[in-house]
A and B are shown apart, each in its own frame.
Chain A
Amino acid sequence: MMNWWKKADKIIILACVFLLLAGANALFSFRDLPRLVPMTQSVNQLPYQQGYPEEGAYPGALLPLMVSGKTVYAKNDIQHYEFDMSDPIAPWELVLPKIYYGLNSRNLLSVMGADIVPDDTLSKVLITDEVRDRCTDLGFSNDLFRYSCAANDIPEEYGNYFHYYYFYSVNSDPMHIYYGCSDPKQLTPAGDEDLVAIWQKKTNGFGEDLYLFSRDFYDREVQK
């Protein structure tokens, strides 16, 4: 036995041991990986993964493809406020809806490639439950709005995404992105129709949802 061991190519034996260990590791990997973190194959070349985890992961990742290069009409209800930054309460006054939803969201779509046109006629529009039910739900996107502060022009950004976290994630209900169109092509990079973006307070709950419509859908279904 010892002679065999001395003569044997130990490297081959070690390689076999490594392969056995690899087999054991692989068994544990197959068992454990799916429960550690959801994995998916991104054959669609998109960061948006439908059904990942349950309602679609990160629907905001689809927004650039839907709005880029298009004219998007939005509410014109932004109000500007001056804050005394020496006041420690000042940053928390960002809770004011006109800043969170209006400015954050408008600038966010702008970063995603949309040409935003503020429209006074949209400022008092109300999306009914009936209209919402005719839209498609992309999923909730609280995180996207949480990070939208980075697209703002507020001098001395005095919040950050952890600060916004409490507003968008801890205090808010799921904030959905809904879309409505006559033809899916209207919300794709090849579509050149104008779009309408409306942010609306939730009927039940705390927060706002984003509605994205093609212009013809909006004229037909919302602004009847």
Chain B
Amino acid sequence: MNLTSLLNEIVSQVGAPAFVRQALTILLLSVYGYVLLSLLCPSFTFRRRMLFAYPAGLSMFTLTSFLPVVLSIPYGTATAVIAALLALAVILGALFVRKYHKDPRCFSVLYDCSIKEAVMAIVLLDLAILLSCSGVLHIALSNDSIFNYSFYPRLIVHFGGLRPNFNTFLTDVGPGAAMVGTLPYLFGFQETFGLQHMLNLVFLAIFGVAVYEKCTVSGKKSRLLFAFSAVVLLLSSTPYLLLSKWILSNDYFAVFMFLCAYLADFGTDESRSPETREDTLWLLYILLAMLSLLRIEGGVYVILFVLCVSVRKIGAKSLAFGMLLPALVLQSLYAFRIFCTMHFIAPYRFLTEGKVLLMLAAMAATLLYLLLIRGRYCLKLQDHFGVLIMAGLFVLNLLLFVKDRAGYLENMRAFLENILRSGGWGIFPLTVALLFLISLGKRFRFGYWDLMAFGYFLYALAVSFMREGGLQAGPGDSGNRVLMQALPLLLFAGIIHVLQRFGERREAQE
């Protein structure tokens, strides 16, 4: 009996049901996200709610399923569904108490769209789901794909939670990515490829919308063409194709990092209405909490993210309680669960007790800075806080260099080797460099998106250094993939500069 006949037999039995279940799961996550956004962000247009429905639904599922796992509540399909519905019920209840008396129409936004819009949206959503789950889009698999993001989530569902025997899975795999990985085992399909492809399709649409919004000159058709060309540019680039097709957490992190940066930009844009800004920030809080869990170093990135956003006109409470505190709580819960309630010995692990204490201390210190110092003391310094962030990151890298010169130089060598030759970056670095070069002029300013992109780059170099073994040359090296996560930010920053150079723009306060 040959393998082909066995595979054909298996595929004939499970292929169609797996396809249907994965498609339905994505649809339900999108519906869930749509309902969530309709309740939480009523000022969003119908199109905006549809655009962010899937990322919002996936994030909320991840957060609500993470909590029972980390609180040692037996985890399974029923728990995951109940937790997600409970969260929705709590939000609904809070809104009912808070808003109903002011405006009973706030719940009618759920169906606030024309029939034509609704039909178009449903058709596009279904087409995207079908394409994502069809298997037509390529994927790349590696050891980490199968074991960290498939086998480990299977273990979580089988055992109903976390166990000490999971060992370095606990300290090396982002818990959020693991929770996304449990979806196949909760709802009866075999892999997460469709989930990732759907996220990529939605991300490309949002990227296009973001470019369109920044392009404030010219007519609608010109802007549409420009936004389309920007999406095609991103889609054609080697590192994006590598990242988006590789079944790992890097793609999720890159997408959510861009979405959070975009929402923070949008939500602090004073040309938008206060309601729109407030609602945008609510969505940002959810997606940022998700981002903090996607990679094991996610909590550290949230610190940088919040500091970068703090250069904008935004209240300290939003930064502290909306963005930083949820990440701090989630990281604390996870650290407590794996380091205090379990005992495991692992000769090598990325996350250690020392690193987690350092991370939590840094998050707490940042929280205190936001609440007690920002906007009150050293105001002149705070006016140049973006410069301070970049200087701080340079100094951090310099300290790492001084600590271990040979190691740091080896890292830089591998980094350049990856960028220029063997790391899967293609001609993307040249493309971005060209965008920046042609944008140089009197109006060139180091702005919010540059801070997000280049700040992340310096942060990623530092984080890679803190990993044992440092950066290696090659596309598969995790340090190289962590750097690649910045590519949507880098490209968008370049596009912003191009628009600033060659057109008038309506600028958000930098």
Contacts and interface: CB of A to CB of B under 8 A. Distances in A.
- On whether the two chains bind one another, the answer is yes
Contact of B135 (A12, A33, A41, A147): A41
A150 to B, nearest CB: 5
A14 B498 contact: yes
B424 A45 contact: no
Interface string B1-44: 11111111111011100110010000000000000000000000
Interface string A177-200: 001110111011110000000000
Nearest to A189: B13
B475 A36 contact: yes
B139 A156 contact: no
Contact of B344 (A12, A40, A66, A157): A157
A156 to B, nearest CB: 6
Contact of B237 (A29, A47, A61): A29
Given A47-B191, A147-B151, A25 B1 contact: no
B158 interface: yes
A95 interface: no
B236 A65 contact: no
Given A36-B424, A39-B138, A10 B154 contact: no
6 contacts: A9-B219, A15-B225, A42-B191, A45-B190, A151-B165, A160-B168
Nearest to A138: B3
- Give chain B's interface secondary structure class: helix
B343 A21 contact: no
B154 A21 contact: no
A32 B424 contact: yes
Contact of B347 (A39, A44, A163): A163
Range of interface residues on chain B?
35 or more
Contacts of B136: 41, 43
- Sorted nearest first, the 8 A-B pairs with minimum C-beta distance are A43-B135, A18-B229, A15-B229, A26-B236, A45-B18, A25-B236, A22-B236, A160-B167
Interface in A134-151: 136, 138, 143-144, 147, 149-151
Interface residues of A, number: 77
Given A18-B226, A29-B426, A161-B167, A44 B147 contact: no
B347 A12 contact: no
Given A49-B141, A111-B154, A22 B233 contact: yes
A32 B165 contact: no
A199 B476 CA distance: 32
Interface string A6-23: 000111101110110111
Contacts of A9: 218-219, 222
B84 interface: no
A45 B135 contact: yes
- Chain A CB within 10 Å, residue with most, of B22, B165, B246: B165
A172 B474 CA distance: 26
- Chain A CB within 10 Å, residue with most, of B147, B152, B193: B147
B466 interface: no
Given A150-B169, A160-B167, 17 more contacts: A11-B218, A15-B222, A18-B229, A45-B19, A46-B10, A46-B14, A47-B146, A62-B7, A65-B10, A111-B155, A150-B151, A157-B165, A160-B346, A181-B1, A184-B9, A187-B6, A189-B14
Interface in B423-454: 424, 426-428, 431, 434
A152 B139 contact: no
Contacts of A152: 165
A188 to B, nearest CB: 5
A53 to B, nearest CB: 10
Given A52-B141, A157-B164, A160-B167, A33 B238 contact: yes
A183 B2 CA distance: 10
A90 to B, nearest CB: 10
Contacts of B154: 64, 111-112
B10 A62 contact: yes
B366 interface: no
